[in-house]
A and B are shown apart, each in its own frame.
Chain A
Amino acid sequence: MFPGATADRDAASYVVVGAPLDATTTFQPGTRFGPDRVRRFSETYDDYDRRTDSHFSALGVHDAGDVAPWDDTREYLDHLAAELRSVVLDGAIPLALGGEHTVTYAGVEAVTPDTLVVVDAHLDLRAEYAGNPWNHACVTRHALDVVDRAVIVGARTGSPEEWDRAAEDDVEVVAPEDARGWLDDLDPGRFADGSTYLSVDVDGVDPGFAPGTGTMEPFGLHPREVRDLVRTVAPHAEGFDVVEVNDRDDGQAAALGGKLLREFVHSHAAGSSA
């Protein structure tokens, strides 16, 4: 159970769903351990958040456990989307813990937002990778079949074809070096119109801060930049995930993922009641 996620499902405002998919990781595997690792490294956090003057355990978070994957990734995503959609039907916010980034497609399918805001080192706009259109390097491209617009914060690498796709009107890329200025200038109401889904691929953060991820990419975002993005977007978001955490570090990536999930909940709850 995610620490502090003590609400019953029926009464929950937020539902944590683990999605330990580890089928298409392309360098270092281990995302199958992501959900449990995030839960474990979130045990040390205080229940009380001073900034929002709220206790995490009082915000109605339920942990529904994991939706265990199987070999057919496309079929698994379909089932995971239905599980996450049941959260949406109950009027709650799904909080998915990956798992590889591919699981974001299920979250997007469940929430059907207008905008996807994604923290990621990679554009993930490939049509296929190694012959597989459902590889984790393709997730944002698939999401664009559902959403009107994707904002990719922290992207610093991609193929020429991906950069061409990113140049189209429905994609906005914010480079790591531009992120702080972009955040400082960000109108807090920008995401207030329409619905938004927020996905944090932990490799968007510099690997010095979050080495426990499959495809580390240097020159990344700082944790506080991602925190501020989460705080800004969360009040307007209808779904959230943290993905690509694996077990190949001493818990840094998982600790960051868990903290960002908590930041999302505190900020969303504060924004909703504001």
Chain B
Amino acid sequence: MPREQKQVRELQEGSYVMMDDSPCKINHYSTAKPGKHGSAKARVEGKGVFDEKKRSLSQPVDAKVWVPIIERKQGQVVSVSGDDAQVMDLDTYETFTMRIPEGEDFSSDDTIEYLEYEGQRKVVG
């Protein structure tokens, strides 16, 4: 599994964390400041990298959480057919089909950047 364990205190806005078994990009991280009682708890908010769903978690800062190792890769558009594009990974030369994101305009030979995690891919806008 392309993921690693980290302590909650190591998370930061802009990094990734698994929430509800989905890789999420963190857009809010804050820590409660306890007085004499209770342990410092963090509130982490994020958005699913692939499903864009907002999620939230609260854990003590020394708790362990899973952090997905999301690869940033480069590919070349081989062909375009309707809303789908055939893309070749420029490292592995693997060819796959991906949905063209709304608002993006792909043409053959375009070089694109995309995120990949466990078979899920998303074009970096």
The chain A residues found within 8 Å of chain B, CB to CB, are 67-68, 70, 75, 78-79, 82-83, 85-86, 89
Contacts and interface: CB of A to CB of B under 8 A. Distances in A.
A273 B31 CA distance: 37
Interface string B43-73: 1010000000011101000000000000000
A82 B43 contact: yes
Contact of B45 (A67, A68, A85): A85
A68 B55 CA distance: 23
Given A79-B43, A82-B43, A83-B43, A89 B32 contact: no
Contact of B56 (A68, A78, A79, A85): A85
B54 A75 contact: no
A12 to B, nearest CB: 14
Given A82-B45, A86-B43, A68 B58 contact: no
Interface SS, B side: strand
A86 B42 CA distance: 12
Contacts of A89: 54-56
A203 B43 CA distance: 32
Contacts of A85: 45, 56
A226 to B, nearest CB: 32
Contact of B35 (A67, A68, A78, A79): A68
Contacts of A70: 32-33, 35
